[in-house]
Structure 1
Amino acid sequence: MKFVGAVRKHFDWLQGYSPVVFGEDLVSATIVSILLVPQCLAYALLAGLPPQLGIYVSIFPLIAYALLGSSRQLNVGPTAVISLMTAASIAVLPEGTRLISAAALAALVGVFLIGAGLLRGGFLMNFVARPVVSAYITGAAMLIIISQLKHILGVTASGTTALSLTDSLLDSLGDTKAVALIVGVSACIILLIIQRNLGLALVKIGMKSRRAKLLARMAPIVVISVYILISLGLGLHERFGLAVVGRVPAGLPPFKVPAASLDMLKMLVVPAAVIAVVSFVDSGSTGQEFAARNRTKLDMNRELLGLGGANFVAGLTGGYPINGSMSRTAVNATAGGKTPLVNVIVAFFMALTALFLTPVLKALPLAVLAALIIIACLSLLDFKSLWRTWVYSRADGITALATFLSVLIFGVQWGVLAGVILAMALHIRQTLHPHIAEVGRFPGTEHYRDAARFVVETNEEVKTLRIDESLYYANARSLEERVSDLISESPDMRDLVLMCTAVSRIDASALSSLFEVNKRLKRIGVKLHFSDMQSRVKERLFRSNFLDHLTGQIFLSQHDAMEALRPEPDWSQLSDHIDIH
């Protein structure tokens, strides 16, 4: 019964499913498929793989995600960033083994994601900061654009970093093919004009905004069709040597386990782990955004299982790693897609493409596919976000900048690792030295603020330190040092209050430090008190014997502490003579 209940909950979108909803899903799937056909070919070439692999990973993996994932609108499949990461991961392997290694890489990514899902590791997404993701995507988009210039120029270039690619391109400039340059640049200009102006132009002539957006997104397939006809009609490949997609084998992908050697798997483990992290973070961010728009909930553990299942199936069908696509998910949402059935219908359309439409793609120029990738990546460049992050927080700005530069200098597979490690290192460094401020009271109020930043009342006999961080083993000594400094600066102090508004945890090491602080203060006749302590922190203190040794009290609020501890006025210094004049 529990299994039946879990299945019913998993497919809760089937409740109330009607022909009307199916019609909306069908229309959305048709539009997404039209967008996906050129993209899957382009991204397979970006990964350094035959174009049919882009079609392969757009069939059965989509069905796997629809069965296991939790998002109702996320469209999975080949994407630019993951394709580039795949290219970088398999570039170090012998060329004859790259098909097998790409499939093995996808299977490994699937294993990592499924394992994390079974261990309920959805929380891992919290360890990747948004500035890191934004900077990583911007750096990867720059790298992708540079990598596609070889097709626009019609030259041969290699490399996995911006420096190596640029150097290779400069060496090959003399071999530029005029026909490739004309086709590539004209395709870029046309696609850019369509992306930026077509939707608005259609709205101005009276078309509804939603329909105008959809037509603008579908327009590239028309552009690609025109270039195929031009390529065929003028014989650009035969007469001028323009590089084209060439023969794309028809048929559905075969199911088989990648015959990868143990040495190959060892070389792919680290890249697979990095791709798994990027895939999950990128897809999770997209899924959460569209779930929020539709007031639905995304289960991150199920997302791990869904993405893992999709990648594992991609590996078994001779494909390469995939993840959720922001652009196609946006098209799905705009077109009115309501349920995961859209992925299943898209898979059906892509299967028809694999069976019957591949001969049409033979004359498609690679320069046009490169133009399609470049224009798509332009929308991923987000330098404004990098600048806003830098202005707001230098630490986050350094992390974002380091991530961006790491992608360009060291390669796409290391950028996210550099960002995550640096972000965590800076966070730990910040918590090592928590902000501990001496506070005072705004005159005539019950509000207490940092005495170094505001004009407030302080008392030489009763001092208060506000701790703006949880206390744990790494920063406990900072508190001891701050208290020691305050003792030397305040010879008249007889009470010290630790204001714990921001302290949500005190671990065993920090508790030992509090014992030491209490002991030192007791030796010099100063009592230690606490105020504004959270209930769960107080409960943990009650489990220890610390409160038995505490020389002072725990006050509900800082104002209560000051009212109870402030010294009585010296009445002897006041005159008892009342002047009535």
Structure 2
Amino acid sequence: MSGLIGSAVKAQWGWLTEYNKTLFSNDLVAAIVVTILLVPQSLAYALLAGLPPKVGIYASITPLLAYAVLGSSRQLNVGPTAVISLMTASTIAELPEELRVVGAAALALMVGLMLIGAGVMKAGFLMNFVSRPVVSAYITGAALLIVISQLRHIFGVDGGGRTAFAMVSNLSRQASETSLITIGVGAAALLAFYLARTQIAFQLIKAGVPSRRAKMWSRMAPIVIIGLFIVASWMAGLDQQGLSVVGVVPGGLPPFRIPYVETSLIQSLLIPAAVIAIVAFVDSTSTAQELAARRRGSINANRELFGLGAANIAAGLSAGYAVNGSMSRSAVNAAAGGETPLSAVIVAILMALTAMFLTPLLTHLPLAVLAALIIIACFSLLDFRSIWRTWIYSRLDGLTAVATFVAVLTLGVQYGVLVGVVLAMALHIRTTVNPHMPLVGRFPGTEHYRDATRFVVETNDQVKTLRIDESLYYANARTLEDRVAQIVAETPSLTDLIMMCTAVNRIDASALSSLETINNRLKASDIRLHFSDMQSRVRERLFRSSFLDRLTGQIFLSQHEAMETLRPEPDWSFLDDHIDIH
């Protein structure tokens, strides 16, 4: 394991040999911009996770350093995110209040150990089993759930609940308890953050400010808005009038200790930790791949497991909570000029300085303002168009996406992704169990063979070609037997059956046994079995068995060669009485 981590460190820091003042300047500017965005987000996401604000700051220091050492992306910014915060909140909500902080840290530590273990086993390929429709629908559902969960802070009521329906039900029951001053502050904050996101950059560019600088100023706007609300809350004494504020945030660096929890608690956290690990890895790797593709680079999925695992272990050991790669902050980091992992190191240093010296300034920050920040941030994650496009393109993928979205809202974030992954794999297995196996014919005058039910093609009642559009394995072997039996029953004059294997990449032992059965049954009916367009590696594996020794027909290089060889000669008997004038 130490060798694997050592090679990851060496690969990650190879850029140091080419580092210069220009790169440092770019990294420094990007780090300042990201920190300005991260400070309010760390507080807001801690609120979303049901944890004290300081925990969000702690989760924004050591994880950045750990990922910078082991991760494979130079621009990914790890730390608190909306989806993982909501998953953490749902997990620790079942714990006694006095155990939630240490429970969140233990959860992060377990997530990190699981990811490191997956990295040791080189399990980065597992990301391929989580389809993009599932990820997109999951993020959309989680974002909507987050928006609903934050309405209680906007209305100034307790609210609560693990599912969307529970949250809405609690909000409706407590409608008479809403705080007008909280609603006013929340509405003003929502409007301010919305205008900052949609209008400031546009207006600055319209006024002649360069595009890059205008976008940078618009990203700094949230910290200015938060500062104004803090000043207004302090000067007007709004906390004395019923407005909930952050309160005293203890200063200082995060404490380093192993979170101690009872064995029974560890057992209850195992499944949530596994789900969070999956979501964190898929979300982070997708973001890292997107950033790398923009620079014509690539990432290593197995190294991402090490980097993200180390980040979560660092979060757990420093009184933080589970983290993953942030899409928004990573994009800001890249747009602001961050080019190396040193920008993340600088962000960690700046966040440490914030924890040491700036926390007293956050005392009068209204919780409604943080809730508004979360809501506006989650609007950019809502992607209903993607779900609709998926539904239009593929009903099966669309069904998976819709089921994932509904599961997140009705069952909670922990189970939403599991429902999506399990359903996607179940539908995939269903498709491979019942593969498309049409009879094909030839386009007249060509060597091209297509589905006889979809095109006007030449067919022959004595020689039939069955195209198999899937690899053959134990789950669909019996389906192939049934399909061949159907063809034999429907074609009394059949003498030769060709299996066109263009899409067959594998034939396992069960499928081979079915082929032997089919060959014997056809032989008993005086029908020969042939193969065409078989891939060389599949044919080579068949040579290891005795099947080809008993095959009644041949293996042809191409489908056209098979038809040219096997088709019967035309019957010219109707021309026997013609008059030869030559």
TM-score for both structures, normalised by structure 1: 0.98
**1:349 corresponds to 2:350:** yes
1:144 shift after superposition = 0.5
d(CA) in 2 for partners of 1:368 and 1:235?
16
1:456 shift after superposition = 0.4
Corresponding residue number in structure 2 for 1:445: 446
The DSSP-based 3-state class of the residue aligned with 2:174 is helix
Contact 2:248 2:360 (8 Å CA) reproduced: yes
d(CA) in 2 for partners of 1:6 and 1:436?
46
How many equivalent residue pairs?
Answer: 580
Corresponding residue number in structure 2 for 1:265: 266
Match of 1:129 among 107, 111, 131: 131
d(CA) in 2 for partners of 1:281 and 1:290?
14
- Look up the equivalent residue of 1:154 and give its one-letter code: G
Contact 2:9 2:69 (8 Å CA) reproduced: no
Corresponding residue number in structure 2 for 1:13: 15
d(CA) in 2 for partners of 1:57 and 1:33?
13
1:14 shift after superposition = 1.6
Corresponding residue number in structure 1 for 2:322: 321
Corresponding residue number in structure 2 for 1:358: 359
**1:60 corresponds to 2:72:** no
d(CA) in 2 for partners of 1:104 and 1:19?
40
Give per-residue Cα distances to partners, 1:162-191, cap 9 Å, x unaligned: 111111111111111111101101110111
Corresponding residue number in structure 2 for 1:120: 122
Corresponding residue number in structure 1 for 2:522: 521
Corresponding residue number in structure 2 for 1:553: 554
1:571 shift after superposition = 3.2
The DSSP-based 3-state class of the residue aligned with 2:329 is helix
d(CA) in 2 for partners of 1:562 and 1:371?
69
- Look up the equivalent residue of 1:91 and give its one-letter code: A
Going from structure 1 to structure 2, the CA distance change for 1:171 and 1:3 (only over 3 Å counts) comes to closer
Aligned pairs for 1:76-115 within 5 A:
76-115=78-117
d(CA) in 2 for partners of 1:236 and 1:473?
69
1:10 shift after superposition = 3.4
- Look up the equivalent residue of 1:119 and give its one-letter code: M
d(CA) in 1 for partners of 2:27 and 2:165?
45
Identity rate, percent:
64
Match of 1:175 among 164, 174, 177: 177
d(CA) in 1 for partners of 2:377 and 2:344?
21
Runs of 5+ unmatched residues, structure 1: none
d(CA) in 2 for partners of 1:356 and 1:578?
112
d(CA) in 1 for partners of 2:219 and 2:432?
47
Contact 2:8 2:71 (8 Å CA) reproduced: no
Corresponding residue number in structure 2 for 1:208: 210
Give per-residue Cα distances to partners, 1:322-351, cap 9 Å, x unaligned: 000000000001001001111111000000
d(CA) in 2 for partners of 1:64 and 1:26?
19
d(CA) in 1 for partners of 2:4 and 2:106?
35
1:5 shift after superposition = 7.0
d(CA) in 2 for partners of 1:198 and 1:2?
47
Aligned pairs for 1:303-318 within 5 A:
303-318=304-319
The DSSP-based 3-state class of the residue aligned with 2:438 is strand
Bigger mean CA deviation after superposition, 116-125 or 567-576: 567-576
- Look up the equivalent residue of 2:106 and give its one-letter code: A
1:576 shift after superposition = 7.0
1:7 shift after superposition = 4.8
d(CA) in 1 for partners of 2:529 and 2:193?
70
Aligned pairs for 1:29-68 within 5 A:
29-68=31-70
**1:477 corresponds to 2:512:** no
Q: Over aligned residues, Cα RMSD in angstroms? A: 1.4
1:570 shift after superposition = 2.3
d(CA) in 2 for partners of 1:192 and 1:518?
69
Corresponding residue number in structure 1 for 2:497: 496
- Look up the equivalent residue of 2:365 and give its one-letter code: L
Aligned pairs for 1:357-506 within 5 A:
357-506=358-507
Going from structure 1 to structure 2, the CA distance change for 1:357 and 1:194 (only over 3 Å counts) comes to same
Give per-residue Cα distances to partners, 1:9-68, cap 9 Å, x unaligned: 332222311111011001000000000000000000100000000000111111000001
Contact 2:5 2:70 (8 Å CA) reproduced: no
d(CA) in 2 for partners of 1:412 and 1:184?
25
